[in-house]
Structure formats: structure tokens, C-alpha cells
Amino acid sequence: MQEQEVKIPSHIAIILDGNGRWAKKRNMPRNYGHTQGSKTVEKICEDAYKIGVKYLTVYAFSTENWKRPKDEVDAIMKLLRSYLQTSKKTAKKNNMRVRILGDKTGLSEDIQKSIDELEEVSRENTGLNLQVAINYGGRDEIIRAVKALSLDIKKNTIAIDNIDEKAMENYMDTKGIPDPDLLIRTSGEKRLSNFLLWQLAYTEFYFTDVLWPDFDKKELMKAIEYYNSRVRRFGAIS
Ligand code: IPE
Ligand code: IPE
Ligand code: MG
């Protein structure tokens, strides 16, 4: 396939999975896999932007992930803290706008503050739009949206008759962000694990056995080739 023929999806969503298994294969603690996985996120952001992706959404921590052993949750939160700090610099350097999806109120106060700062300093950036889902669950997002919508109905700011898909989108964490064109899940698992239940309604799904820390630009291009094979078929006569 020639490079110029390739249609680059505007929005790619990724369920980054397999950090633990990657570390286990190397007889290392699971947290080592998370550290490597976070480096992969940084690299993929650059690769994705260079090839023309406009929106990238990554699933970093789900509402269900709190059930993991405390030391693993603590290590992931520590990693998130440092990721949010360094992202302030990389966002500036790469002209990247970062937004966090998920229930921020469930995160510790210093992390919430760091998120607010990062979102604020990168707000005007016009390069890659990066969404990081933290304490995110698709069902939780819909419930929070329904609650916010109900409050507006109570305040008479919206009438029940005016509730449609577009109105609903205003209450989602992804307000203003187009739906993903392509979803990638690494590590061989073929489930959504509560990711973007509303937004993935028409998205193409790509699954690979590659474990997240091993995911690179070559693997990203394979996913995009798959996407191209699907969009060509979609709407075709045959
Ligand atoms: C994905 O890797 C990262 C998070 C969910 C935080 P995992 O930690 O799920 O790795 P596996 O699936 O156990 O290998
Ligand atoms: C999904 O991965 C959540 C994230 C990638 C953050 P998990 O590894 O937590 O999902 P399950 O438990 O296999 O469904
Ligand atoms: Mg997993």
C-alpha cells in the first residue's frame, strides 16, 4: 500500500493492555510494565501526530481498576502524577492539547489540581488532541451525564422534548470531541472493558496480540492498514 493512498483516521482510541503480562514475561514486577507502558504512550502520541492523527484517546485507568491490589494502584497513581507533570512540558513542546476523561472527583486532590493545570496550560494548543481516560468507565460517564441533564431539566434549561443525541453529547466527558474512527486494543483481549460505550457506536475495531509496551509506529501503521481495508469496503457495491 502506497503511503499517499492511506486514509489516516482522524480519531484513534486505544485500550492499552498487557503491561502486567509484558513485565511478567521478563520476570519483572507488574509496575515495571506500567512504567514502560507510559513511555509507549508518549512515543505513540508523537508518531500519531506526525502521520496526521488529530485526536488520540487512551484508556489509562478504569473505574474497575481500583479493585487491583493497593500497591499496584498506588504505583499507577504515582506514575500518573509524574506523567501529568512532564506532560505540561511536552504539551508545550509539541503544541498538544490534553484533556482528561473520567470522574476527576474520585482522584486525590493533588492529581485533580495537576489535571486542571495541564488542561488549562494546553487549552489553546492546536496540535494533537490527547484525551487520557483516568477513573473512567463508560457506564459511569453515562450516569454522570444523565444526572447533569436531569439537573438542567429541573432548572428548566432544557426541555425533555429537546433531548436528542446532540444534546446528550453536551453532557459527556467527550463534549466537542468527534467520535473515534478506529479503536485499538492490545494484548489479545477482545472486549471493551467499559470504554467509551456511547462514542464507539460506529467505530472500527482492531485487536492485536502485541502487548502495550511493545506497541510502536509499525504496529500503529498495521492498525491503520486494517482500518483502510474496512473503510474501503464500507459503502461499496460488492
Ligand atoms: C494495562 O495493562 C494498564 C492498566 C489497566 C492500568 P494491565 O495492567 O491490564 O496488564 P495485564 O492485562 O495484566 O497484562
Ligand atoms: C482495561 O484494561 C482498562 C485499561 C486499559 C485502563 P483491564 O486490563 O483493566 O481490563 P480487563 O480487566 O481485562 O477487562
Ligand atoms: Mg489488562
Q: Does 235 or 77 have the greater pLDDT score?
A: 77
Q: What is the mean pLDDT of the chain?
A: 96
156 in catalytic set: no
Ligand that lies nearest to the alpha carbon of residue 189, given by its number in the listed order? 2
Name the pTM for this structure.
0.96
> Ramachandran region of residue 27, left (φ > 0), alpha (ψ -120 to 50) or beta?
left
Contact 210, 187 (CB under 8 A): yes
Chain-centroid distance of CA 121 in Å reads 20
Nearest to 182 by CA among 194, 165, 199: 199
Please tell me the predicted confidence (pLDDT) of residue 237: 62
Query: Ligand 1 pocket, 19 CB below 6 A?
Result: yes
Contacts of 17 (CB under 8 A, 6+ apart): 185, 186, 187, 189, 193, 211, 212
Q: Which atom of ligand 1 is nearest to the CA of 16?
A: 1
Choosing from 65, 103, 125, 152, the catalytic residue is: 65
DSSP 91-155: HHHHT-EEEEES-GGGS-HHHHHHHHHHHHHHTT--S-EEEEEEEE-HHHHHHHHHHHHHHHHHT
74 in catalytic set: no
pLDDT digit string (tens) for 42-83? Answer: 999 999 999 999 999 999 999 999 999 999 999 999 999 999
How far is residue 132's CA from residue 170's CA, in Å, rounded to a whole number?
A: 19
Q: Which atom of ligand 2 is nearest to the CA of 136?
A: 6
Q: Tell me the three cell numbers of residue 47.
A: 508518531
Q: How confident is the model at residue 5 (pLDDT cuts 50, 70, 90)?
A: confident
Residue range 77-93: average pLDDT?
96
Nearest to 136 by CA among 171, 175, 104: 104
Helices and strands (DSSP H and E) totals, the chain: 7, 6
Domain 11-137+178-237 has CATH 3.40.1180.10: yes
Side-chain-side CA neighbours of 64 within 13 Å: the count stands at: 8
SS3 167: helix
Q: How confident is the model at residue 229 (pLDDT cuts 50, 70, 90)?
A: very high
Ligand that lies nearest to the alpha carbon of residue 196, given by its number in the listed order? 2
Q: Tell me the three cell numbers of residue 9.
A: 483516521
Chain-centroid distance of CA 119 in Å reads 15
SS3 205: strand
Please tell me the predicted confidence (pLDDT) of residue 232: 75
Contacts of 213 (CB under 8 A, 6+ apart): 18, 19, 22, 33, 36, 37, 39, 40
Number of C-beta neighbours around residue 12 at 10 A: 25
Contact 101, 141 (CB under 8 A): yes
- CA 61 to ligand 2 centroid distance, Å: 8
Residue 4 has pLDDT above 70, yes or no: no
| % of the chain beyond a pLDDT of 90 | 95
SS3 12: strand
Q: Which atom of ligand 1 is nearest to the CA of 37?
A: 3
